[in-house]
Structure 1
Amino acid sequence: MKQRGITLIELMIVIAILGILVSIAYPSYTQYVQRSNRSEGMNELVRIANMQEQFFADSRRYAVDLTELGFPDAVFTTENGLYQIRVSAAAARTFTLTAVGQGVQANDVCATMGINQAGAKTASAQDCWR
């Protein structure tokens, strides 16, 4: 008489293969998510830098904190709460915007990114602004 179905050994082989595939795919997926979340911080940095340039065109100086640009607080938290952005403008002719990762982005290699009045971009690791 012929039996139908799968044996325990066949089931264990399938589970082992799935485990190997998941162990390879999951780290790649988490890195992809962190890279895509990074764009939120970059976009907001560039947007606020543009606001600083408009403020400079109107006032002949850069804003010393974000409240001068119309934000409710001196620290701006991005829409999904992944970055907090601060401005430091020691002189009226220069500024530096810094985005610091929050939550899951705090563990990213690019947890800190920045941009200044000259458009120079900085980050806590290489190739963060790619």
Structure 2
Amino acid sequence: MKHRQSGFTLIELMVVVTIIGILASFAIPAYQDYTIRAQVSEGLGIASIARAAVAEEFLTEGLPPTDRTDAGMSADPADSSGRYVASVDIENGVLTITYGNEANPQIAGAGANTLTLTPYESSDLNLVWRCGSAPAPPGAELLGTAAGMAAAYVEPTLPVRYLPAACRP
């Protein structure tokens, strides 16, 4: 009577390990991009307070605020920080979100760590924001153009692949 062996052969085991390795090589970078995008989203949430301050200053004074104090906020940009956001600054109405603290090194390094929100004024005098590398709002001018103190568009330094969909070109 022959004894029949059961179980995996070495070849079958190697095939399974190879397939798992291939799947992991696709999944790990995709997950890393996902977590970085989540960190970038934190900055947009923190910047919402500064966005409201810029809008309020523009509605009351007719000009974009020159800096944080002009917008009624503290002078220190680091006061608007979070787990992944080092600071939110205002310069002539333009918000600059700087990533740092515990952010992924892909977005925390100097030269690749800022996202900008640029205010525009629509023809019906509404405030519209241009996020990152997104196209300028159609029919809108930079905030303060009519008053001669226009905000200037500043290109973000974050890699485009990490920007939220609304901030991409």
- What is the TM-score with the length of structure 1 in the denominator? 0.70
Q: 1: distance between equivalents of 2:56 and 2:15?
A: 63
The answer (yes or no) to whether the contact 1:55–1:63 under 8 Å persists in 2 is no
The answer (yes or no) to whether the contact 2:87–2:99 under 8 Å persists in 1 is yes
Offset at residue 100 of structure 1 (A): 1.8
Q: 1: distance between equivalents of 2:78 and 2:58?
A: 20
The answer (yes or no) to whether the contact 1:45–1:99 under 8 Å persists in 2 is yes
Provide structure 2 residue ranges, at least 5 long, that are not aligned to the other structure: 121-128, 133-155
The answer (yes or no) to whether the contact 1:67–1:73 under 8 Å persists in 2 is no
2:25 corresponds to which letter in structure 1?
Answer: S
Question: Size of the alignment, in residue pairs?
Answer: 124
2:68 alignment partner in structure 1: 65
2:25 alignment partner in structure 1: 23
Percent sequence identity over aligned pairs: 24
Q: 1: distance between equivalents of 2:160 and 2:18?
A: 37
- Please state if 1:78 is matched with 2:81: yes
2:90 alignment partner in structure 1: 87
Provide structure 1 residue ranges, at least 5 long, that are not aligned to the other structure: 89-93
Offset at residue 17 of structure 1 (A): 0.8
1:111 alignment partner in structure 2: 113
**Secondary structure at 2:87's aligned position in 1?**
strand
Q: 2: distance between equivalents of 1:9 and 1:54?
A: 69
RMSD of aligned residue pairs (Cα, Å): 3.1
Offset at residue 73 of structure 1 (A): 3.2
- What is the TM-score with the length of structure 2 in the denominator? 0.57
